Amino acid sequence: MRSVLRFIGHRLYTTWATFWFVMPFVVTYPLQVLLSRRPAWHRHLHTLNRLWSKLFIRMWLVPVEVVRHQPQPQGQPCVYVPNHSSYIDIPLLFKAIPGFLNIMGKSSLAKVPLWGPIFGRVYLTVNRESVISRARSLVQARQSVEEGRSLVIFPEGSISARPGEEMGAFKDGPFQIAVSLGAPIVPVTMPYNHRFMPDVPGSLRVRYARLRIELHPAIPTVGLTAADIPALKERVRAIIASGFDPAAAGIPAPSGLRPAADEAPAPTGATAPDADAALHPAGTPGQPR
């Protein structure tokens, strides 16, 4: 009986979360298309995207903790480098980081029906298999920072194979941009996103899970050179990893009418273990900032 309730709860919560993600986009789609057509309007589109992110995250009914260790540098664009563990990383970043952000995503995002072309016009995309695309995206990213627009780049380049446990190798790109322009680097930790919506090929898996985004103190790069980048990468990696929760390692098991033989117990506080918890989550969403 418990497995049946859990199965129903997972299905209902997945439907609820999907509805609140899709519905606001459908309602605002004509306005998003309009605002994406002129670069002068992109700032307003980003504001709309931030409001969209705040709305559907609130309606997911999950507690959200935004931790800022210190005020972000004022009047100076930063390079934000977060760990990458889930499809909801970008919405959570939009919710937590103020200002007119630019973000670099993989080129396949621009191919997503309806939303993809809008993303491709307003933000940066890169095909990491192409040397030319990588070089072009770095030039565009540098130009964005020079124009005063803070930048978000996932240093791993793709979602980690072991989210919440181990990060992939860091690329040099975000560190080269920050060092060459003297822009501060802000490490960002998101330790629970993969518990809410893991990267599962061919499947949409949503589980009620508390969320947290931690904005670490900015690291100044003025005076650093290319020779300092390896040490800078290791420093940032250690800072991001310091915010991980060992109990949240791994991804949630698939739901089913029978528990999987290898299904591990859900980490304490990271995800609701049954239908009752999914339908009646404890806690209240964090206030948008």
- For the stretch 149-205, pLDDT in tens is 999 999 998 898 899 899 999 999 999 999 999 999 999 999 999 999 999 888 889
Better pLDDT: 76 or 272: 76
How far is 170 from 173, CA to CA, in rounded Å?
9
Per-residue confidence (pLDDT) for residue 128, from 0 to 100: 81
Measured CA to CA, the distance from residue 144 to residue 142 in angstroms comes to 5
Q: Per-residue confidence at 280, pLDDT binned at 50, 70, 90?
A: very low
Q: Could you tell me the pTM of the whole model?
A: 0.84
Residue 181 exposed, middle or buried by CB count within 10 Å (0-12, 13-18, 19+): middle
Instruction: Give the mean pLDDT of 208-232.
Output: 96
Percent of the chain with pLDDT over 90: 66
Per residue in 190-200, pLDDT (tens digit) is 999 999 999 98
Give the CB-side neighbour count of residue 224, counting CA atoms within 13 A.
23
157: left (phi over 0), alpha (psi -120 to 50) or beta: left
When pLDDT is cut at 50, 70 and 90, the band that residue 257 belongs to is low
Residue 96 to residue 190: CA distance in whole angstroms: 11
Most confident option among 2-11, 201-210, 221-230, 279-288: 221-230
- State residue 185's pLDDT score: 97
pLDDT confidence band for 256 (50 / 70 / 90):
low
Question: Percent of the chain at pLDDT above 70?
Answer: 88
